Amino acid sequence: MSNYFSDRELGPRPRTGHEIDTTTWAGIVAIVEALANGGAFGASFPELCPDGQGVCGNSTSSLKSAIEAEIRGLSWPLQTFQLVDEDFLPTTKPWAPPTMVALDFIEFVWRKVAQPIPISHHSFFQHDHLRFDQAAGRESFQGDVNRILARNGLAYDLGSDGQVRRTLPAVLEEALKRTYFGTGDRILDVMLEESRTKFSDPDPLIRREALERLFDCWERIKSLADTNNKAASIKQFLDRAAAEPTFRAVLEAETRALTDIGNSHLLRHHETKQTPVIDPHHVDYLYHRLFAVVELVIRKNAP
């Protein structure tokens, strides 16, 4: 996707960003404007030859209407600056839409774009008549937009199915991909899969829901060995997870700490005295920490 010298020498930039800034947005806009100038939206929004000889480009008025109807807050031409008043003199400053709006727009473009291929030239109107290769257009757009996201350190990728997904932290992504949830408890398996799916969502609110669900999973795990005595149940699970006394003590301290975090940070209850977890990086940290415990306990207690 990217073969810049700096990437080869230093490695790619860490993809930890969650907000699409004005520079990234301007790059996305440049790609889409170039596509529109080349007629790449003609399959979805055709401009017809006046002589009736086929499609000769894309209708920007139709493109504008579709964007406004589907992506609230955007229009065509796409905006990258906004007017501001400073000391009664109007000026401009760089602008970008909210991140979720920008990501929705990326998916919109993927659905509508197609590579234009000239099939004949109309000398009178000085334009080409076109056919379109949708697969090639989508693949090219996917590569271009993912390069911009990667070069700007953003934790998002446009997939070949046209959906934007979050790029997970490397270690956690590997763990989530390799884990198969077969605990023997069907409800728990469903809850764990729901949490894993939500954690890959670009929306930070959905990812927070994933963390809340993982804490729910942890509470269910703690009661599976002995449904009548939760303390005895979790003791059985931890004993099987760590027979060596020193590590067993470390694991118990960690599980107690995570339980306290879940109870005090609006992750399992919603009382006014609890502290919300807002920062997406904090959500990632807590999810990684709790998932490591959950995976270890499940693996060591597998039938």
- Report the pLDDT value the prediction gives residue 268, as an integer from 0 to 100: 58
Q: Are 46 and 28 in contact (CB under 8 A)?
A: no
Least confident range from 39-48, 96-105, 193-202, 259-268: namely 259-268
Task: Look at residue 131 and tell me whether its pLDDT is greater than 80.
Answer: yes
pTM of the model: 0.76
Considering only CA atoms, give the Rg of the chain: 26
> What are the tokens at 218?
């942890």
- Report the pLDDT value the prediction gives residue 89, as an integer from 0 to 100: 73
Taking residues 140-145, report their average pLDDT: 97
How many CB atoms within 10 Å of residue 75? 11
Task: Please name the residues in contact with 107: beta carbons below 8 A apart, sequence gap of 6 or more.
Answer: 158, 162, 163, 164
How many CB atoms within 10 Å of residue 235? 15
Task: Please name the residues in contact with 8: beta carbons below 8 A apart, sequence gap of 6 or more.
Answer: none
Q: What DSSP line would sit under 145-174, residue for residue?
A: HHHHHHHTTBSEEE-TTS-EEE---HHHHH
> What are the tokens at 90?
């109007």
Residue 89, burial from CB neighbour count under 10 angstroms (0-12, 13-18, 19+): exposed
- Report the pLDDT value the prediction gives residue 12, as an integer from 0 to 100: 79
- Report the pLDDT value the prediction gives residue 15, as an integer from 0 to 100: 83
Domain boundaries in the chain? 5-162, 168-300
